[in-house]
């Protein structure tokens, strides 16, 4: 069911972390995987030719439930009646930890170096804008894997930051840093992938 990606220079992967993320008190927690995040981000990934969408959760009940939902849409009459949905969900997979994501990618693409990118709603030092990231990728000599990590809850917990190679800047509306800044992760994923991969102006 998986269709081949367009011939991009780098392979891009999307990761949605459900742990380690923070709650409203700043504590590190594991959040629940939502059906909306599963379906909507899978479809966005399919639209932008992303082959792998990993939902990371250490909660075994959630892993089993979400794997069952993915299988439900990928197989049998559901796949026949909803082929576009099956095609989108065929790139979604639940894994227990970010280490598992890295191990899986190493197994699939042993020759490709991995760069972990984390978009953040806050302005941080040394963040790249989306156009800067595009230009940098274009000029890199070697192909690699670009792993775009998104958060749930109140965002990615600080203990994950040591995994990050590159921070990507905030997505702002027309009022810039002074405007409303509370996008859902689904909307953020779509805007970020569009800024990184759209061929349209």
184 near ligand SAM, judged by CB under 6 A: yes
Q: In the block, which residue shows the tokens 């009646």?
A: 81
139-158: contacts with ligand SAM (CB under 6 A): 150-152, 154-156
Q: How near is the Cβ of 69 to ligand SAM at its closest, in Å?
A: 18
The pattern of x and - marking residues 59 through 98 that bind ligand SAM according to CB under 6 A reads ----------------------------------------
Q: How near is the Cβ of 128 to ligand SAM at its closest, in Å?
A: 12
Residues with Cβ < 8 Å from 119, sequence gap 6 or more? 148, 150, 167, 168, 169, 170, 171, 188, 192
20 near ligand SAM, judged by CB under 6 A: no
Query: Sheet of 113-119: strands edge to edge?
Result: 92-95, 52-56, 11-17, 144-150, 113-119, 166-168
Q: Which of 73, 86, 119, 190 binds ligand SAM (CB under 6 A)?
A: 119
User: Mutual orientation of helices 35-47 and 185-197 as an angle, nearest 10°?
Assistant: 10
Contact 55, 190 (CB under 8 A): no
Binding site for ligand SAM (CB under 6 A): 119-121, 150-152, 154-156, 170-171, 181, 183-185, 188
């Amino acid at each position: 069911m998986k269709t081949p990606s367009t011939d991009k220079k780098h392979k891009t992967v999307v990761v949605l972390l459900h742990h380690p993320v923070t709650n409203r008190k700043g504590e590190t927690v594991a959040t629940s995987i939502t059906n909306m995040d599963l379906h909507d981000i899978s479809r966005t990934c399919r639209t932008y030719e992303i082959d792998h969408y990993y939902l990371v959760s250490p909660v075994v009940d959630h892993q089993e439930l979400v794997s069952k939902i993915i299988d439900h849409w990928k197989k049998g009459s559901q796949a026949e009646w909803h082929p576009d949905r099956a095609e989108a969900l065929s790139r979604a997979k639940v894994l227990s930890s970010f280490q598992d994501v890295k191990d899986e990618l190493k197994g699939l693409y042993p020759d490709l170096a991995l760069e972990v990118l984390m978009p953040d709603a806050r302005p941080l030092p040394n963040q790249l804008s989306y156009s800067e990231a595009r230009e940098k990728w274009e000029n890199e000599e070697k192909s690699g894997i670009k792993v775009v990590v998104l958060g749930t809850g109140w965002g990615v917990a600080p203990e994950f930051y040591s995994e990050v190679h590159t921070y990507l800047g905030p997505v702002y509306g027309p009022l810039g840093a002074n405007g409303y800044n509370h996008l859902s992760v689904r909307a953020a994923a779509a805007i970020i992938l569009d800024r990184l991969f759209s061929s349209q102006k």
